[in-house]
Amino acid sequence: MTDFSLFFNLDVAAALDDHDATARAYRDAEEQSVHAEQLGFDGVWFAEHHFASFGRSPAPLILLSRIGARTSTLRLGTAIAEAPHYHPLRLAEEAALLDHLTGGRLQLGIGTGGASKRIEYDLFGYDFDQRNARARDAARTVVAAFDHETVDLDGETYSVTDARIVPRPVRSGAEAVWLAASDETATFAGEHDLGLLFGRAVPPARRADLLAQYRKGLGDKRGRRAALIFAFAADTDEEAWEITLPVVQHYATLQSAAVQAGGPLDWDGRVGTPEYFEVLERLTFTVGSVDRVTERLSRFIDDNEADELLLQTYAGASLHADAVTANEVLAREVLPALRERVPVGR
């Protein structure tokens, strides 16, 4: 059985001083989240970005608390909370409070934000080279806080004794915590029976290697795997390609390093060409008819051994109405055929 959630990066294709566009993105994401529960999606996940380095989502737990108050079953995820920017105990307290208030709906994805976001560490004044150790200590702390009355930890970057976390969360640490997939986290996540979370634009060979590290860490444990993909279905390929062209162009520029990482690629902006499809593949996008998107998502579930897919339909250069329609098409025509899908080899 595969779960399906929506993902919001909150990157805005507008000038940084266009505050109306930023406010509109928050409103759109909130309304789409509430509608997602009505459509039968399992959850929503929000990114974290600081200083507009890649998006306008500096405090995802606050956004999720608002959405949690307007929903009753929707799981509430961070993909990811940039843990090195928090004191581990403060992150544990905020996570426990949100899980408590929402009746156990938190999915706390933890990561570092990646090597491309060094500016955040410089501005906050944190040691960039300590980011992975800080993220692992944050994961240890949150798990301990969710599983025990007090936290006692001798970590890689800090130690604490007899720290009491109030209020008590509903879920266990292993149920609530996910780690962004990397060489520094995949085996660790498996050893601690935490979920493994893949972002977009991860090359297939890289995914396979990280999954192998995760399985090694898991041993006999089952684990949980989730992966992010931009997915937009319409009645025809041509309709979907036309609607999403500004989004594809936006991300091809924003993530140009990922696009070129697989070798030189010169796309002229036309849809339906071999270069267009290669851009989609390198960005981890599936765009087209219901049949095309269904087939691609089926393969994506297998490729990631996925228990859950994070589906992005709303991004920089997107229109709210287009994303709402796309979510309705996914819920009505794509996901029913995939819900009972069990990844090959699981």
C-beta neighbour count of 39 within 10 angstroms: 16
Closest-CA residue to 258 (of 286, 283, 292): 283
How far apart are alpha carbons 189 and 240 in whole angstroms? 37
Express each pLDDT in 113-147 by its tens digit.
988 899 999 999 999 999 999 999 999 999 999 99
279 near 259, Cβ under 8 Å? yes
Query: For residue 345, what pLDDT is reported?
Result: 66
Beta carbons of 98 and 64 less than 8 angstroms apart? yes
pLDDT over threshold 70, residue 235 = yes
Q: What is the mean pLDDT of residues 234-261?
A: 93
- Burial class of residue 345 in the structure, from the number of CB atoms within 10 Å of its CB (0-12 exposed, 13-18 middle, 19+ buried): exposed
pLDDT of residue 116: 82
Q: Is the peptide bond before 80 cis (omega within 30 degrees of 0)?
A: yes
Taking the mean position of all CA atoms in its chain, how far away is CA 10? Answer: 12
pTM of the model: 0.97
Q: Is the pLDDT of residue 233 over 80?
A: yes
CA neighbor of 141 nearest in space, from 76, 78, 87: 87
| pLDDT above 90: residue 27 | yes
Least confident range of 5-9, 18-22, 112-116: 112-116
Measured CA to CA, the distance from residue 297 to residue 12 in angstroms comes to: 26
214 dihedral zone (left: phi>0; alpha: psi -120 to 50; beta): alpha
Determine what percent of the chain is predicted with pLDDT higher than 70: 99
Q: How many DSSP H helices and E strands does the chain contain?
A: 13, 11
